[in-house]
Amino acid sequence: MSDSSQRAADLVRVLHADIPLTAAMQLSLQSFDGKTLIFKVPLTPNMNDKGTAFAGSITSLGCITGWALLTLWSEQVFGHCQCAVYDAQFHFSQPLHGDFTATVSLPDMAHITDSIRRKNKGKVSLDIELADSNGVATRLHARYAVWRG
């Protein structure tokens, strides 16, 4: 396992301990290469009354995946930082019918890196895709704050 993957796997264990919802969702790491993070969850514990993925699970997984990517990035670049989503817009184009993933990649981080160095805080937008075996069903555009402290 690469160092990046090990750090992400360690973060999943922290998530399960500190955010019980992630354990109930059965969130797990699919992959992390240092730039792109993919979390996955099985459908069964995240199912709604229609037999598809519950919107609350979809939105939770999307927000947590973005937060986790920024947590991993900030720890690598600055050491411990705080991260929080402050704006999230979801677009649901079709139901998720099976186990599903959330995928997010780091954008150009030069602006936020400079901001954190100068002001100890910064903001960044992430685009997160949630998909099952049928393809992308939900897109999340979210803005996160990252700060030292």
122 phi, psi to nearest 5 deg: -165, 170
**Is residue 17 within a helix (H) or strand (E), and if so which, with residue range?**
helix 3-18
**pLDDT band with cut points at 50, 70 and 90 for residue 2:** confident
pTM above threshold 0.85: yes
Domains of the chain, by residue range, sit at 3-148
Of residues 100, 148, 149, the one with CA closest to residue 128: 100
Residue type at position 6: Q
Query: What confidence tens digit (pLDDT) does each residue in 64-110 have?
Result: 999 999 999 999 999 999 999 999 999 999 999 999 999 999 999 99
Query: What confidence tens digit (pLDDT) does each residue in 9-51 have?
Result: 999 999 999 999 999 999 999 999 999 999 999 999 999 999 9
Q: Tell me which CATH code domain 3-148 carries.
A: 3.10.129.10
Task: Report the pLDDT value the prediction gives residue 149, as an integer from 0 to 100.
Answer: 80
> What is the layout of strands, in order, in the sheet containing 28-32?
28-32, 36-41, 100-105, 121-132, 135-148, 81-92
